Structure 1
Amino acid sequence: MTTPPTDYASVFAERGEPTPVAPAGLNAPASETILVDSHVVSCDGGNAPLGHPRVWLRIAGQRIMCPYCSRLYVLTADAPAVAAH
C-alpha cells in the first residue's frame, strides 16, 4: 500500500496542472473537535433540523474535517489500524 502524498502541490506540478486554490474559509478553525476510534464516521451537523445531509467520512490519516459543518474528527491513539486490501 502506498502512502498518499502530503504535498499535493508537487503532485499537480508533476502532472503539469495548476495547483487548485482552496475556497475562502476552507482553512477556518474547526467548529468542534470529536475524538473517534473508527476510520469511518458519519456526520449530520448535529442540531437535528438545522444540521446538514448525513455524510460518511473516511479518515485516511489521523483526522478529517466535515466539508459541511467544519467538525474535526480525530482518531484516538488506541484506534485500530486499517487492514490493507
Structure 2
Amino acid sequence: MDPNPWSLQDAKNRFSAVVEAAMSGAAQFVTKRGRAAVVVVSATEYQRLQSVEKGQATSLAEHLLAMPQDDQEFERIPLTPRDTTL
C-alpha cells in the first residue's frame, strides 16, 4: 500500500487532488477507519488492467476441454438434499 494513503474524509475534501494524482499515473489509496478501502486509478490504467485480466482468462470452451476426459471415479462429497417443503 502507498506509504501516504488518503483518509476517506481527506479524499472527500480534496477529491480533485486525488483525481489529478491518479491521472498523473500514481494510484491513490484511500483508507476508511484506518483500513485500506479503495484505490483510485486513472481510466487509462483501469482499461489496461481490464485488458490484462481478460487476456489471462480462459474461455468456457478452453475450460471444458481442460477437464479430464477419462471415465475414472472421483470423490463425491456426501450431501443430503435440503428439505424443500413449502
Please say whether Structure 1 and Structure 2 have the same fold, judged by a TM-score greater than 0.5: no
Larger radius of gyration: 2
**TM-score category by the smaller chain?**
under 0.3
TM-score by length of 1: 0.20
- Greater fraction helix: 2
TM-score by length of 2: 0.20
- Greater fraction strand: 1
